C-alpha cells in the first residue's frame, strides 16, 4: 500500500463473506461500523454514539458499550495473531487477518458513559493460547475510563460464515 494511502482498519481487511457483523461489519448498513487500528502495542477505535444509543437521558446503553468492547477485541485478537504468526496486515507480504469470534465477554461498567461524546476504545492482547486470544479493552469518554472488558476470542473455523 502506498504511503499516501490511509492505513486500513483491521475490519476493512476481512473478506466480504465475513463483513456483516452488526458491530463492525462494513457491509451491515444498520451496524455500528466499528473500525480498529493498530496504535503501537495497542489498538484503538473511536465511536460517536447517536441519540438512538440511549439508556437513560444523557447516557449510552450498556449493550452498545459491550458491543464496542466485543468487536474491538476480536479485531485486536486478529492483529495479535497475525503479528505472532509473522503475517503482516499491510505492506509487502500482507495477508488477510485471521477472523475471530467471541468465546466469552466480560464487561465491568466503571461509571456511566455520556451520550453525544466521542468514545475511544483501547485494547491489548494479553495472552495467545493456541486458537484463543485473551484481550483487555477499555472504553474512554473524555479521557475517563467508563468500562473495561475482557474477551476470549476464538479463531473462526475456515468453514464458518460460508452460508
Percent helix, strand, coil in the chain, to 5, is: 20, 35, 45
pTM of the model: 0.91
Q: Which residues neighbour 52 within 8 Å (Cβ) at sequence distance 6 or greater? A: none
Distance from the first to the final alpha carbon of the chain: 31
Structure confidence at residue 21 (pLDDT): 92
Burial of 115 (0-12, 13-18, 19+ CB in 10 A): buried
Query: Going residue by residue through the chain (163 aa), what tens digit of pLDDT does each one get?
Result: 334 446 789 999 998 988 999 999 999 999 999 999 999 899 999 999 999 999 999 999 999 999 999 999 999 999 999 999 888 777 676 778 889 999 999 999 999 999 999 999 999 999 999 999 999 999 999 999 999 999 999 999 877 665 5
Query: Nine-digit cell at 152?
Result: 476470549
Amino acid at each position: 500500500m502506498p504511503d499516501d494511502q490511509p492505513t486500513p482498519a483491521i475490519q476493512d481487511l476481512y473478506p466480504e463473506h465475513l463483513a456483516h457483523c452488526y458491530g463492525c461489519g462494513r457491509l451491515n448498513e444498520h451496524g455500528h461500523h466499528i473500525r480498529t487500528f493498530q496504535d503501537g502495542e495497542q489498538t484503538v477505535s473511536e465511536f460517536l454514539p447517536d441519540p438512538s444509543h440511549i439508556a437513560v437521558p444523557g447516557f449510552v446503553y450498556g449493550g452498545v458499550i459491550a458491543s464496542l468492547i466485543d468487536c474491538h477485541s476480536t479485531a485486536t485478537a486478529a492483529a495479535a495473531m497475525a503479528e505472532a504468526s509473522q503475517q503482516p496486515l499491510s505492506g509487502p507480504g500482507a495477508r488477510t487477518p485471521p477472523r475471530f469470534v467471541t468465546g466469552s465477554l466480560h464487561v465491568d461498567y466503571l461509571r456511566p458513559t455520556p451520550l453525544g461524546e466521542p468514545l475511544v476504545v483501547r485494547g491489548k492482547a494479553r495472552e495467545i493460547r493456541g486458537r484463543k486470544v485473551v484481550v483487555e479493552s477499555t472504553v474512554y469518554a473524555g479521557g475517563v475510563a467508563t468500562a473495561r472488558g475482557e474477551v476470549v476470542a476464538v479463531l473462526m473455523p475456515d468453514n464458518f460464515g460460508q452460508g
